[in-house]
Amino acid sequence: MRIGLGYDVHKLQEGNKLILGGIEIEHEKGLVGHSDADVLVHAVMDSIIGALALGDIGKHFPDTDNEYKDIYSINLLKKVYVLMKNKGYEINNIDCVIAAQRPKLAPYIDEMRAKIAETLNTSVDNVSIKATTTEKLGFEGREEGISSQVVCLLSKI
């Protein structure tokens, strides 16, 4: 078994799409990044890559490479899945938290869980996603950005 920790943060900006967990969420602001800036999926990828001791997502998908410009992060997660399978591992479980003052994410959690589980070829029961506000503290509380932290446990196949 191997454990990995992932963390990501992106700035919010009016006019951008808000994509979290591979799902487009209706909101007046969206995340800014080289890709679609999906902080949840980026943290999931980082946790898996970390558990495999293969560096971080920047090493595998650099923001200086135009191949990844505006890419749907679920497509990057598919590549991480292949890395994981090639190393002989599968998902035991993933535990995620998203910190965002707004929008309320509870209505989207089940859909995000399903999308991530499908992409990683695992049961939705192996993917936990929680959302929290920061009680208006910090950059998330001021609605300047959104962050996500993820822990994953991988099992040898």
Known binding-site residue numbers: 8-10, 34-35, 42, 56-58, 61-65, 132-135, 139, 142
DSSP string, 116-137: HHHHTTS-GGGEEEEEE--TT-
- DSSP string across 48-67: HHHHTT---HHHHS-TT-GG
Q: Cα separation of 9 and 137, whole Å?
A: 15
The label of the residue with tokens 């990844």 reads 68
β-pair partners for 150: 6, 96
Residues 126, 91 contacting (CB under 8 angstroms)? yes
Residue type (1 letter), 73: S
**Binding site, annotated residues for a divalent metal cation:** 8, 10, 42
